[in-house]
Amino acid sequence: MGANPPTILIVDDTPENLTVLGELLQPTYRVRAANSGRRALQIALTSPTPDLILLDVMMPDMDGYDVLAELRAAPATQKIPVIFVTAMDSTDDEEHGLDQGAVDYITKPIRPSIVLARIRTQLELKQARDILSDQNSYLEAEVARRMRENQLIQEVSIHALARLAETRDPETGKHLRRTQEYVLTLARGLQKTTLRPLSRRTNHQRPGAIRPAARHRQSRHSRPHTPQARQADARRMGNHENPCGTGQ
């Protein structure tokens, strides 16, 4: 059965019955024994925990039904399978025992091969239940773990989105304002660069400005028309029309 064989607790107030069952089971199983119901409840709570209990029904102080009720009421022992082993062989007794929660019912005197076969069957069923229970526990723990991870991821995502929204709004606004300021500064700089040479132009470079020669001619023609001035203008005009100095 391996390095750790299943543990079987035998409960009977008769020493001979304990001996018979112990000798039958010890080659294959780890056997523990109790000669009373109270003692059986104590042993059931200690290590190694029994994988199966063979329980007599008729015992003083505390009978097998009471022991079974106590075992089912305690969380640590409620899943231990119990087989009634008793001299009460009526159909009603067997039915009552099974109704109380026993997984099987064996009558005395025992038949060793039948006892071993039923014990093996119940141990295999218990092993299958334990595996299924472990798998269920693992799956429940895995589902709980993944739910926690998903919840954490969801919270982190929401927090990240919230932080992104918090930082994006003001940053976007600041970026737009900075861009506007940059463009305005650049426009002002270009405007100054363009207008500075224009401000340095002379009057004759400006559109519509009067050139110096024109001003000179204008000033000449705007002199007072005195007799002397008219005579001087006439002589200049004569010289201009006859540059050689000869008359007609």
107: CATH: 3.40.50.2300
Which letter, b or e, does each residue of 121-143 get, where b requires 16 or more Cβ atoms within 10 Å of its Cβ?
ebbeebeeeeeeeeeeeeeeeee
pTM listed for this prediction: 0.58
Q: What is the mean pLDDT of each run of 10 residues along the chain (248 residues)?
A: 85 96 96 96 96 96 96 96 96 95 96 96 94 88 88 78 59 60 71 58 49 50 59 64 48
139 within some domain: no
Number of domains in the chain: 1
- Whole-number pLDDT of residue 122: 97
111 within some domain: yes
154 within some domain: no
- Whole-number pLDDT of residue 87: 94
121 within some domain: yes
Q: Is 5 within 8 Å of 31 (Cβ atoms)?
A: no
212 within some domain: no
Full domain range(s) for residue 83: 7-134
Q: Is 55 within 8 Å of 91 (Cβ atoms)?
A: no
